[in-house]
Structure 1
Amino acid sequence: MAPLCPAGGGVTRGRTVGPAARLDPEPPLAHKPHVSETIRKPWLVALLLAVAAEAIFLVRLSVPHMPVFDEVHYLPAARAMLALSGPANVEHPPLGKELIAIGIALFGDTPFAWRFMSTLAGSATVAGVFALAHLLTGRMRAGLVAAACALLGFTVYVQARIAMLDTFMVAFLTWAIVVLGWSMRRRGRSAWIAGAVLLGLATACKWAAAPYVAFAAAAFVHLKREDARRWSDLRIVPALALLGGVSVLTYFATFLPAFFYAQDAVTLKSLLPLQWDMYLRQRQVLPHHTYQSPWWTWPLLLRPIWYLYEPADGAQRGILLIGNPVVMYGGLAAVAALYHGWVKTGAARLLAPALLFTLAVAQFAVIPKSLGFYYYFYPASVFLCVAIAVAFDRWRARPWDEAFLLAAFALTLYFLPVLSGQALTDAGAFRRWTWFPGWV
């Protein structure tokens, strides 16, 4: 397999040269590569990162031995999917529940089984963050910084250890972006089609991924018009047709098990009306929830969510979904710096992670849902990790990136008891981690 960012391409004064054009019009910065940057097999590093992340996510995965937060909705739906008994949790597409069901089929109906497939999705997300940062910069160090931020950012860790749909959606979405970006530098339609398949799979987990199909289409048209040598064997109209057609077909293919339900089985005739019913359910007005929050509060960490805070497995335990303040606030500074750098240079590689973050948050300003929750911020929190790595790489901020990761690691150790559901001293122990009233 070729490197994620192939050698041999470059630009001079905005003129693209070589067989592998860079993403941006700025000339490559002259520097002596670090030895790690010369590694020719970044896919192997991505694989090792995924294995390491998986080992971390699996530790004490069965604790607590009870459904946590939205597992109470998705576990019954996964069991129904496994038994093909009939529809459940019909407001969401089926793929995430099918993946949870695979875990149950492999290991039995146990807490470990409920969450196992989520650990794989979380590990894939860490590897995908590495791949995306490496793709944008061509440097191993940036990829490793991004992966470390993902591991230390809290959100990937918590989501990888709970059976929720968002975990799967983000894994497919991250790799869709990587593959579509990589396809720009490779002839052949296979990578473009693979990216479209991954977008369809992400949408089949949760509809929140659907806008990224439009984002990908818009980015393709802009970059292709800017330089026709990008995606050299794809023309605009056929490429958009492939992107939309393949992603939609992939999405509908995930409904196949529903055709075999014992009751209320889906048919070709009912498949499209089912989508309208799902849409209406998404728009329904729901009662007030303790942890609801508007979209603009998520980047500011104003209202995280306690997935669990109660006695479980013989002790008081808590699981708090919150972003690592170092990574989240540092990520906001990185996004601002990348926008500033893009305005000055026009470099698309600086704009890409900043824009991904912005779109991931801003779409919830227009999505017609009556309630919002901090876990909707999960995709944006992942893109922040890429933004941090690209910003450090752009300004050659060594050893500040190491100091940044050390600070993030220190906070990870501090918050770990309420990220992993460890036994706490008493019911009032939450006060140690609730720095602000909105964190209670």
Structure 2
Amino acid sequence: MLIAAVGGFLRMLRLDHPRELVFDETYYVKDAYSIAHHGVELKWAEDANGKFAAGDFSALTDDPSYVVHPPLGKWMLGAGQLLFGDGTNPFGWRFTAALIGTISIVIIARIAIRMFGSVWLGAAAALLLAADGQHFVHSRTGLLDIFVMFFVLSAFLLLLIDRDDARKKILQRTGPSVDKQHTGSKPWFMPASFGPSLGLRPWRLAGGIALGLACGVKWNGLYALAVFGIMIVLWDVANRRAAGIRRPWLAALGKDSVPAFMSLVPVAGIVYLLCWTGWILSPKGWDRSWAADNSGWWDFLPDWMVSLAHYHYTAYNFHVGLDKPHTYMSNPWGWPVQWRPTSFYYRSYGLGEHGCAVEKCSAAILSVGNPVVWGLGTVALVVVLLAWALRRDWRAGAILAGLAAVWLPWFNYQHRTIFTFYTIVMVPFIVLALVYALGIVWGTATGSTSARSLRACRLAVAAILAAAVLVFAFYYPIWTGTTIPYDSWRMRMLNPTWI
């Protein structure tokens, strides 16, 4: 909690700087204001940014705005605006992101403690996430991706809790004589041979809700829904195998697969649909009257349902067809090493301007990860992959599943205009991979009989954590838009591709 408190304080500190719309805040913060006041996104005039930053909302029109992301993230940003200044205060624009970022530090600590059985490793996970640049920058910016990260991470924790709870129940309900069910005249395929049904699983249901909320922010939450659905069935197989059931695959498919599907997919679908309530109830939304204006075989369906389906069709075509070149577009192959980070904000100042005490200064917000976290985290992925391939360690498999859900789908869209800042959703799983590797080192130290080996291993872990904190302090100015000498800014550009 101390790490989360410090991390939260740093995320809230001078959160209103810069006092202007940063990067894609020009879309999401303004849309959030519109959706908080009208229930849907309305169009802004071309000259809206300056007026909006000054607290003048006269540039908002009554015309519907075509947007290609679901509404939930903008509702969340709008809640912060309503709490702080009703859109007039940049602190309010970014408050919800900072709050969610802070809570996610606690969540990853709980995940690490549950997975690795160590409070120290839980603290290490919290520290590494709090010190990461992608996480820090997104926590201080009114964009959508941090909400996707939060709900995916929340779902991961909820499904972990369900896994442990289900394992405990099935071991309690299945005695050591389970194999006797497969003898005599009772055939192996009878339901009794599969072990007990576990009934309602509220943690799994909550996981489905969280995944529906992730989809309600951005559609890439769908990939987490699909991968996590497969993951929990594999966990059910492992639980039934641990209970001594001879055919755990058939048992899990027979007893668990359908309830797992129902807990995730329909639940997530209902939650996702609820995220569109404002659009459904308002006559002002984009494409809201499409069904009324276009007759067809769908006429027996409610107009709102048909119009919403058509809206999704056009939005999907937009996403898959977006290939306009951009200065900071990147390829997912380079994301683990943060090859081409995204510049959110850059200003150049001369002597005496905005606190510049030298001839030339820079103020920048670069959405780039902490090099220690991402560099060592990428190496740790090899360790995790080997642990899963050679030892079938379920923890390694879970980390890889999480990373696969939020990274691998982007390889199908390499032709598209995509950005490294999407890796905010990858950060927790990079951190968990690094903590997994640190846990191996720490465990080696604990099991060692040599005092020198014990000290060396623990010093190595401490040095990595200290390095992450020191690098965070070094990069803090270019993660917060602080005015620094140009040479100091240039020194922080670790790679020419960062410029």
TM class by shorter chain equals 0.7 to 0.9
Report deviation, 1:204.
0.7
Residue of structure 2 in register with 1:241 after alignment: 262
Residue of structure 1 in register with 2:423 after alignment: 377
Cα deviation 1:24-51 (Å, max 9, x = unaligned): xxxxxxxxxxxxxxxxxxxxx4xx5443
Residue of structure 1 in register with 2:482 after alignment: 422
SS at 1:186 equivalent: helix
Say whether residues 1:127 and 2:106 are aligned partners: yes
Structure-2 separation of matches of 1:140 and 1:365: 36
Matches within 5 A, 1:136-151: 136-151=115-130
Distance 1:238 1:116, change over 3 A: same
Alignment match of 2:306 (pick from 263, 269, 294): 269
Residue of structure 2 in register with 1:81 after alignment: 35
Cα deviation 1:347-393 (Å, max 9, x = unaligned): 11123223422443211101476111001122212211111112211
Residue of structure 2 in register with 1:348 after alignment: 394
Distance 1:85 1:196, change over 3 A: closer
Alignment match of 1:67 (pick from 15, 18, 21): 21
Alignment match of 1:113 (pick from 85, 92, 95): 92
| Paired amino acid for 2:238 | E
Query: Radius of gyration: which is bigger?
Result: 2
| Paired amino acid for 2:475 | F
Unaligned runs of 5+ in 1: 1-44
Cα deviation 1:105-162 (Å, max 9, x = unaligned): 1112110000000001111221121122112111111111111110112111111000
Structure-1 separation of matches of 2:413 and 2:224: 13
Distance 1:368 1:208, change over 3 A: farther
Report deviation, 1:429.
4.8
Say whether residues 1:410 and 2:470 are aligned partners: yes
Cα deviation 1:91-110 (Å, max 9, x = unaligned): 00100011111111111211
Alignment match of 1:220 (pick from 217, 232, 245): 232
Structure-2 separation of matches of 1:161 and 1:234: 45
Structure-1 separation of matches of 2:260 and 2:402: 21
Structure-2 separation of matches of 1:223 and 1:437: 44
Contact map agreement 1:302 1:439 (CA 8 A) in 2: yes
Structure-2 separation of matches of 1:85 and 1:149: 38
Contact map agreement 2:330 2:417 (CA 8 A) in 1: yes
Of Structure 1 and Structure 2, the greater helix share is in: 2
Contact map agreement 1:158 1:420 (CA 8 A) in 2: yes
Structure-2 separation of matches of 1:257 and 1:51: 34
| Paired amino acid for 1:107 | F
| Paired amino acid for 1:366 | N
Seq. identity, %? 25
Report deviation, 1:174.
0.4
| Paired amino acid for 1:340 | L
Structure-2 separation of matches of 1:412 and 1:318: 15
SS at 2:336 equivalent: coil
Structure-2 separation of matches of 1:385 and 1:263: 43
SS at 2:164 equivalent: coil
SS at 1:366 equivalent: helix
Report deviation, 1:178.
0.5
Say whether residues 1:392 and 2:392 are aligned partners: no
Q: RMSD value over aligned CA atoms? A: 2.3
Contact map agreement 2:384 2:437 (CA 8 A) in 1: yes
SS at 1:207 equivalent: coil
Residue of structure 1 in register with 2:378 after alignment: 332
Alignment match of 2:354 (pick from 314, 317, 324): 314
Report deviation, 1:184.
1.2
SS at 2:346 equivalent: strand
Distance 1:59 1:192, change over 3 A: same
Residue of structure 2 in register with 1:56 after alignment: 10
Say whether residues 1:100 and 2:77 are aligned partners: yes
Cα deviation 1:246-287 (Å, max 9, x = unaligned): 011111101111234352374233222222122112122342
Report deviation, 1:226.
3.2
Contact map agreement 1:136 1:390 (CA 8 A) in 2: no
Residue of structure 1 in register with 2:169 after alignment: none
